[in-house]
Amino acid sequence: MKRKVSMLPMLFLSMSLFFPLCLTGCFTTDKHHNKEHIDTMKKDMGLMHKDIDRALGLDEPSPLVEKE
């Protein structure tokens, strides 16, 4: 009995390997250029995290926590 092989896992694997390259906006063979894009993306994610913390009120210490 032959087993039918699904292409879905192979498609998912190939997309998951290719997706990080697309996050930087453009992909070249220049390592320095790609590193600048990745550093910018990390900075933007950090700033977004701070904005979300500020909006949720998590950036200030909780008054419920005892100070040492």
Span 4-19, pLDDT tens digits = 667 788 788 877 777 7
Q: Is the pLDDT of residue 67 over 60?
A: yes
What lies within 8 Å, CB to CB, of 59 at 6+ separation is: 50, 53
- Cα separation, 21 vs 15, whole angstroms: 10
Going from N- to C-terminal start, the domains of the chain cover 25-56
Q: Report, as an integer, the average pLDDT of 42-65.
A: 85
pLDDT at 65: 73
Residue type, 63: P
Question: Structure pTM?
Answer: 0.50
